[in-house]
């Protein structure tokens, strides 16, 4: 892996790596590397010796962990360093929170029920969600043994609709010794794929559910379906993902 031996590249944490670092209070070697990188004001120049120093000077171990992190897309090597944004945290956080949710409605709260920042959520709603976050944080702490052990650590919580789709999600985030929760509200999707099968039958129905105020989207879907049925792509996709199920016309 040539990237882990270059001295001309900078080591940058990717979103998946940052989340791995904060999703659990118990940090492994990869989390310690990410924590150090995130604690720098500027993206550091890559040095295997420096990383090995964080792991008791064990260079073979450092190289192995870096390969693992690169494979999981937790790190990337960039040619130019980047610096943290200047300004107050309360001014910077809303812009960071916005793209985390399709609806751009999200907030960050502490485990005491106070929200630190929010985006797209009214103040009163943000306060109520923060209080709910604190209750969930307390529940998470009380049942951590069960969640981390028997249930294979499902870290996230969600409020779902009757079909099982998440409408509001909560993510515990461990930063140092502090526990925070990120909350994201889901925007109802413009389109849903629906496949229903008839009991004891090889027949079924395939369709798309579209919001009532999106007639132009319906036209685009129908045009697309007509095109892929004409060129045979529809049958190819159906055979790959659905098999011999008879969908009728």
**What are 98-113's pLDDT values in tens digits?**
888 877 889 999 989 9
Q: Which domain holds residue 16?
A: 2-78
Q: Which residues contact 23 (CB under 8 A, 6 or more apart)?
A: 155, 171, 172, 173, 174
Has this prediction a pTM greater than 0.75?
A: no
| 53-92 pLDDT tens trace | 877 777 888 888 888 998 888 998 889 988 888 888 888 9
Domain boundary (49, 78, 107) is at 78
Same-domain pairing of 108 and 40: no
Q: Assess if residue 249 is contained within a domain.
A: no
Query: Distance between CA 147 and CA 153 in Å, rounded?
Result: 5
**Domain end among 78, 111, 138:** 78
71 and 95 in a common domain = no
9-51 pLDDT, tens digit per residue, is: 898 999 999 988 888 888 888 888 898 888 888 988 888 888 8
Rounded Cα–Cα distance for residues 86 and 191 (Å): 39
pLDDT digits (tens, 9 = 90+) for 180-215: 999 988 755 555 666 666 555 566 677 777 777 778
- Mean of the per-residue pLDDT values of the chain: 81
CATH code of 169's domain:
3.30.450.30
- Is 4 in a helix, a strand, or coil? helix
């Amino acid at each position: 892996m040539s990237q882990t031996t270059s001295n001309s590249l900078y080591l940058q944490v990717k979103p998946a790596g940052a989340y791995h670092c904060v999703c659990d209070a118990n940090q492994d070697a990869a989390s310690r590397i990410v924590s150090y990188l995130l604690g720098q004001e500027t993206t550091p120049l890559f040095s295997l010796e420096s990383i090995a120093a964080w792991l008791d000077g064990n260079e073979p171990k450092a190289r192995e962990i870096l390969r693992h992190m690169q494979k999981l897309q937790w790190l990337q090597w960039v040619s130019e360093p980047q610096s943290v944004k200047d300004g107050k945290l309360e001014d910077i956080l809303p812009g960071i929170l916005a793209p985390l949710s399709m609806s751009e409605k999200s907030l960050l709260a502490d485990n005491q029920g106070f929200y630190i920042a929010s985006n797209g959520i009214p103040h009163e709603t943000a306060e109520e969600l923060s209080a709910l976050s604190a209750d969930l944080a307390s529940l998470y702490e009380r049942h951590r043994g069960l969640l981390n052990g028997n249930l294979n650590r499902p870290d996230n919580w969600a409020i779902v609709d009757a079909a099982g789709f998440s409408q509001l999600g909560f993510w515990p985030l461990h930063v140092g010794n502090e526990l925070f929760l990120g909350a994201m509200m889901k925007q109802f999707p413009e389109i849903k794929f629906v496949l229903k099968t008839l009991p004891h039958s090889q027949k079924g129905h395939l369709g798309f559910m579209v919001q009532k105020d999106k007639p132009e989207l319906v036209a685009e879907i129908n045009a697309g379906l007509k095109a892929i049925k004409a060129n045979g792509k529809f049958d190819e996709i159906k055979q790959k993902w659905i098999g011999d199920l008879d969908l009728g016309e």
